[in-house]
Every structure is written in C-alpha cells, then in structure tokens.
Amino acid sequence: MAQENGEYQADVVIVGAGVAGLLVAWKLAGAGVDVLVLESGPWVNRAEAVETYRGAVAKTPESPYPQVPYAPRPTVLALEEYYVQVGPDLFGSTYERRVGGTTWHWLGTSLRHLPNDFRIRTLYGVGTDWPITYDEVEPWYGAAENAMGVAGDSAEDLGSPRSGSFPLPPLPLTYLDKTIKAAVEPLGMSVLLTPQARNSVIYDGRPPCCGNATCVPICPIAAKYDASVHARKAQDLGARIVDQAVVHFIEVSSEGLVTGVRFKRPDGSEERASGRLFVLAANAIETPKILLMSRTDALPNGVANSSNAVGRYLMDHPIQLSWALSRDAIFPYRSPLENAGIEDFRDGDFRRERSAIRIAVGEDGWSFPGTPPTVLATDLVGEGFRGKELVGELNERAARQFRFAGLVEQMPLAGNRVTPAWDQVDAIGIPRPQIDYRLGEFVERGMAEARRLHDLIFDAVGVTFRMHGESFFGAGHLIGTYRMGDDPASSVVNTEQRSHDHANLFLLGAGVFPTSGTANPTLTLAALALWAAETIRGEIQSL
C-alpha cells in the first residue's frame, strides 16, 4: 500500500468503517489483499465513551459519542440539525459516523429475513421481489452469525430454515418474557427468544453479557458485538484504516471505471485514494449522497445512477411504541433491552393490504418512551414523595413498567428520497442530506394493526395504565436508496452488489435491500457483505 503527499493507493478501497465495510476488509486482508478503509469519523475509546454516557443528562443513543463538526450526524433530539427534512413525515432514524459505525449503539438483534420476504411481489402483489432467494443467502447468514457471535435457540428457526446451529447458546427468557408468554398463549401468540449478537458465554475473546441494560447506547464490557471487533482484526491482518477521512467525490474514467475517491480532512484539506476495486459501504444515507455529489458533465446524475434510482426508496421499520403498567410486578431491567419477541405477524396474506409486524418485547421499562427511572424519580418528587416513601414508590412503579415496539414493514416508495442539500453545507463545505419521507397508507394500516395487537396483549396481561405513541418512532434502520435488481433501468446494483454502471464499484449495506421485511437489517447486510467479499477476493486475485 502506497501513501505519499496525501495520495493513497490500494488494491481495494473501502469507504465506510461500519459492519459491512469492515467485514469485507477483514476477509480481504485475511486473503492477502491490499486494503484501505476510509472512515469519515474518529475512532472510539470505549472507556471514555462509557464515562461520557454516564455523565450525559439525556441518555440518547448518541450521548456517548460527541458530535464532530467535520463528520456531523443526526441525533434523536435534533433530527433537523443535520438532516434537511422536506417531506410530510420526519425521518426519525439516526446513525454514527465513526469507526465501527452504528453498531456502537445498535441493540444487537440478529434476525434473518423470512424466505417469503424475498418474493413479496410474486406472493402478495406488493413491493418488488429480490433478485436473490433465501436459499442463496442462507449459508452467508450462518457465516455472519459466526463472525459476529450470535446467541440463539437452534431448535427454533423463527420461520427461517437453518443449515447449522447458532455459534452461541441462547440467553434465557426473563421473568417479564415468561409473564408475557403465559398471557398471550391463549390468544394463539408465542413469545420466542430473539437471536442477538451478544455473548451468552465467552466468545471471540469477549466476555458474556452481565446485564448492564445499556445495550443502546453502549455495552461497557464489549459483550455485545460492534464492528470495532473487525476493525482490529482487519488491522491485525494488514488492512489500513484511515479515520477522519470524509469521502465526497468518486472519480470515473471515460471508460466508466472508478479510478479514485477524494476525501476531506477535518481542516478542509483534500486528499485522494486510488485503487483497482472500490467498495462504498457508508450506509443508506451517506452512500447515495456521495454518489449524487459525484456529478460531472459526463455523469450529470452522479455515479452509478443511470437508472435515476440512487437515493430513492428510502425505508425504515417505523415503530408503533406502546407502554403499560401491569397490575403485578413484572420486573424489567434484568436483561438486554430486548430479549424476546412475538413473531406471529411477520408474514401472511394480509401483506396484500397492510404491513407485516414484528413485536419486540421491551425489557427496559418505560425508558424508550422517555421515562427512565431517573425521570420517574423526578416526577414522583413533583407528586410530593420524599425519603423512604419516594424509594418505595419508585421501586413499585418501575417494577410494573413494560412496553412493546411494533416494528412495521415499510414499502419502497420512489418519492422517499435522499439527495444532497447543495445550499446547506456542513463545517467543511459538504452538503447535508436532504430527506423527503412519508409512511404511506400501507404502513399506516400496519401501525393501526400494531396498536390493536398491543391492546389485546395489554388486556391479557392485565394493566392499570396504557399508552400508545401518537407518532411513529424511527428504528434506526436505514434501508433502500441503491437497491439490488436484475434490470439496470430500475435498480442500482446487480446480485453481486456490483454497480450496473461501473464494473469495479461495489455498493454494500442495507441500501441494496429492495424491500424491508420485518427483520432488523444488520444480519442480512452482514451476510451480503461476506458474500460480496468472496466475489471481490476472487476478482482481485485474478487481475
């Protein structure tokens, strides 16, 4: 790997040090490939981040990770400080720009897509089919589970057939899980353990989960997987990771091949990296923004965008949040923030008319709705409680709190779009992402069904108080915007995740998903990244 006067060179240049980019870097470096990874944000010191989180007044997903002006990102408390929102609905999901990406504050949920998620147009007449099948992805799911360390019940496939066991045994159902399970079984529902990239035993040199219950925003002991694991592994194998390198332009030759990328440093100075193959893995907001910013006279619509599909079909899993106070103590805060779920509504003929739904059982009391124990204590002081009576009332109420997050499938709408806000730039002159977003009627019907199901369960459990969120919450799942397909006229990448337009450019991450399904996207994007790594390895070694 060469570097001279702000010029870098490698066989493979990867943009984005999140889970997709770092898994590819790890696999390629292990095969002896010369790899350079460019990451817009800084490295994270876990101990410092934990202390920052503990001292933060607002315990948000972003609170351990201070904003940096050269690589700003959205926050749940200020969605419009970075996003330029122009749609009828606010896009509510956020992400991190730093080495390890958003896996620093992800929950760890590692569900597979269902086989039917890959062919919903054929089965239900909505959305679009994927150009690949579940059976083709299945072995890569297993590889991703082993790479990240997923704990799960191998006897229960959750509707996604498995060719192998989970690498780690499952974490146990909690008392809260068991209480909900007993209540919903007469309704024909089931509460099942959720596969999660969180150690249940020592694995890969990392300790087992000890129940800190701060998975979002940070696991203080690294029991939960984050992509810094593969940053270190890739470096140990010879990959070079350059942080604070904000890529903003992709160079393309007259023959249609990518020749280099330009990036800015925190002081605004510009550097360049060249290579033979290029991988963009900067998430479904930043990747299309980079592609669209790279417009020239020859490519007036930007790079990889002959279809005009780059930036379109942005999706999330809009959350219907509902919370309640049980009659009897249910004891939250004794496990990861979500440990089990109700999977009965993820597929069915109803998908012709409304979204599929996955109901996550919350273990974090009312923290997600905004009333963690610290806030509850303040409220109780306002009600006149003091001393032992305050402690007793706090414990009594907190022990009865629980919530559900109904993750709702979103359909791909061409108008849900990310574009550069050319007239609104950040501290180093790069356009902020402009987002035009709406749920659509299909999703609205799914949200209504989620509220109905939550009420059924509340009735079965027995509650003295219930509340449904009046507006949807973002799940933190950035999906679509450079989707995969067989037709170059309507998609951005092919089944290899290779650009239809540029043979040496690969686009990775959940941006390639044609549809969202109900599974959290990380395991699927990791599986697809490992699949792509094998393609890239074979190609680079044959050049």
Q: Given this model, what pLDDT does residue 35 score?
A: 98
Q: Note the pLDDT of residue 300.
A: 98
**Structure tokens that stand for 199 in this block:** 């150690």
- Share of the chain residues as helix, strand and coil, in percent rounded to the nearest 5: 30, 20, 50
Task: Please write the tens of the pLDDT for every residue from 207-238.
Answer: 999 989 899 999 999 999 999 999 999 999 99
Q: Which of 203, 199, 200, 180 is nearest to 190 (CA)?
A: 180
The tens digit of pLDDT for each residue in 119-129 reads 999 999 999 99
Give pLDDT tens digits for 323-356: 999 999 999 998 999 999 999 999 999 999 999 9
- What average pLDDT does range 473-499 have in this prediction? 98
Identity (one letter) of the amino acid at 380?
A: L
pLDDT attached to residue 156: 96
CA torsion angle 405 20 166 32 (round to 10): -170
Residue 75 is predicted with a pLDDT of: 97
CA gap 96, 181 in Å, rounded = 35
The total number of structural domains that make up the chain: 1
Task: Provide the pLDDT confidence category of residue 152 given band limits of 50, 70 and 90.
Answer: very high
Q: Encode 4-32 in three state secondary structure.
A: ECCEEECCEEEECCCHHHHHHHHHHHHCC
Q: Which DSSP state fits 168?
A: B
DSSP-based three-state secondary structure for 271 = strand
- 108 φψ region: left (φ > 0), alpha (ψ -120 to 50), beta (else): left
pLDDT at 466: 98
| DSSP-derived secondary structure letter, 361 | E
Q: Tokens at residue 426, please?
A: 């950040």
Backbone dihedral region for residue 16 (phi beyond 0: left; psi -120 to 50: alpha; all else: beta): left
Judged against a pLDDT cut of 60, whether residue 378 lies above it is answered with: yes
Dihedral pair phi/psi, residue 136, rounded to 5°: -70, -35
For 169, other C-beta atoms within 10 Å of its C-beta total 13
Residue 248 known to be catalytic: no
Strand ranges in 186-298 using DSSP code E only, listed in sequence order: 191-193, 240-242, 246-252, 258-264, 270-274, 277-280
The DSSP code for 117 is G
AA letter at 429: G
Owner of token pair 């086989």: 115
pLDDT at 1 over 60: no
* pLDDT given at position 351: 98
pTM above 0.85, yes or no: yes
| pLDDT recorded at residue 543 | 81
CATH number, residue 504? 3.50.50.60
Domain of 342 in residue numbering reads as 2-542
Residue 488 — very low, low, confident or very high, per pLDDT cuts 50/70/90?
Answer: very high
Q: Which of 105, 248, 317, 477 is catalytic?
A: 477
Rounded-to-integer distance, Cα 184 and Cα 359, Å:
12
CA dist 322 and 359 (Å) reads: 10
Dist CA 220 CA 160 (whole Å): 32
Confidence at residue 3, expressed as pLDDT on a 0 to 100 scale: 67
By CB atoms closer than 10 A (0-12, 13-18, 19+), residue 236 is exposed
Report cis status (omega within 30 of 0) of the bond before 61.
Answer: no
The overall average pLDDT reported for the chain is 97
> Which two tokens mark 289?
């923004």
Residues contacting 124, CB < 8 A, separation 6+? 349, 351, 352
457 touches 184 (CB < 8 A): yes
Measured in residues, the chain has a length of: 543
Can you tell me the distance from the alpha carbon of 259 to that of 16, in angstroms, rounded to the nearest whole number? 18
- Give bridge partners of residue 192 from the DSSP assignment: 341
2 pLDDT band, cuts 50/70/90, is low
Q: Phi/psi of residue 404, each to 5°?
A: -125, 145
Q: What pLDDT does 5 receive?
A: 73
